[in-house]
Amino acid sequence: MSTEGGKPKSIEISNRLFERINDKIRKTRFSSVSEYLIYLIEKDLAEIDDSTDLSKEDEEKIKQRLRSLGYL
């Protein structure tokens, strides 16, 4: 389990979900449900971070729209 950023925290999931995940990872490189969930969360957060980066063109379009609406 990754301990980046300090002491690890715990979360609760249902037994049913835990077992489903555990079954899924048996033939993978993941050694635990925690390791797999950390991987998924970090991957998802990276995708969210990447998707919020606007191109300069998109940013300018937004600024123009805000100006036309009187916000800038």
**pLDDT of 25:** 96
Q: pLDDT, tens digit, for every residue of 22-55?
A: 999 999 999 999 999 999 999 998 887 776 677 8
Q: pLDDT, tens digit, for every residue of 4-22?
A: 667 888 989 999 999 999 9
CA dihedral 21, 41, 12, 35 (to 10 degrees): 60
Domain ranges of the chain: 15-68
CB 1 within 8 A of CB 10: no
Tokens found for residue 23: 């079954």
Q: How many percent of the chain have pLDDT more than 90? A: 44
